[in-house]
Amino acid sequence: MLGFEEVGALLDRAAEALPREIFKDLNGGVNLIDDVRRDEDGNYIMGLYHHDGMGRYIEIFYGSFAALYPDAEPEELERELRKTLHHELTHHIENKAGDRTLERWDEQHKAELAMGGPLRAESILFVCADGALLSPVCLRMFESECARRFLRVGCAYAGLEVPDGTPPEEALRAARELGADISVCVPQRVSERLIRGFDAVLCMTLAQAEELAERFPEYEERIMCLGQRDMTPPRLKGGWARLMRALKAEIDALCDELEEE
């Protein structure tokens, strides 16, 4: 994990890349805070937008990033910082316009986490959006773990789009090492009919969940992320094994919660 000053420089770079008008009326600026912040349910808070007696300002919590991404490569960490900054700036823009769309999404997502996400589900659809086939990886890991624990939960996988070609060999190898053979997997394209047949839809990233909720708003309550952090293909060689371990940890946590029901 990069130090506080280095992360501050990444955050400054992310802010400087945006048009100045986005920051209009943000009189308190964007501030990196050396704290770990959690909500009452124990979930990490990465950033907050404030509109109070001190004005309008954004806080990004270095300690939360250090706790959630201790081994992240600088490129991954910068990407996550940028997403958090954009998220909080969206709150700023919507707050000025009197729009609570993103605020309602946050409230819903927090409620889903508090309820254990898909813990009441008897069937789960895993969804991804890239050629790395992360959703079938999750499916294979989930099937294996459910069998080990004697859990009866139906599952399937799909993609926002059907990928071309095959996953990188490093991805196939890393998945096999964790018992997930995806060499012959090709996700079907997600559809209204497919979603209708499942109690919960778990996406790999918040952006995928938001896109799916926009496509099928009538099923918005079923759609959420697999974990607190986005699961995306690594850009650097050697990152696939770490990504697969992260997916396995999320699947294990999901099964822990399902087992409690």
**Residue matched to tokens 């823009």:** 93
Does residue 104 sit in the same domain as residue 218? no
Provide the 3-class DSSP secondary structure of residue 55.
strand
CA geometry: angle 118, 180, 193, nearest 5 deg: 45
Name the domain boundary from 87, 111, 135: 111
Token output for 101: 């769309």
Which structural domain, as residue segments, surrounds residue 19? 4-111
Please report, for the domain that includes residue 243, its CATH number. Answer: 3.40.50.2300
Does residue 91 sit in the same domain as residue 163? no
d(CA 116, CA 257): 7
Please report, for the domain that includes residue 51, its CATH number. Answer: 3.30.2010.20
d(CA 242, CA 238): 8
The phi-psi region of residue 42 (left if phi > 0; otherwise alpha if psi is between -120 and 50; otherwise beta) is left
- DSSP structure class, residue 34: -
d(CA 58, CA 190): 36
Q: What is the pLDDT of residue 99?
A: 56
- DSSP structure class, residue 38: B
Say how far residue 180 (Cα) sits from the centre of its chain.
21
Does residue 88 sit in the same domain as residue 188? no
Segment 64-101, tens digit of pLDDT:
999 888 888 888 888 889 888 988 887 887 788 775 55
Segment 232-258, tens digit of pLDDT:
888 776 688 888 888 888 888 888 778
Nearest to 135 by CA among 188, 197, 194, 204: 204
Q: Which regions of 7-144 does DSSP assign to beta strands (E)?
A: 30-33, 47-52, 55-61, 123-128
* Cβ proximity of 92 and 63 under 8 Å: no
| Number of domains comprising the chain | 2
pLDDT-derived band at 120, boundaries 50, 70, 90: low
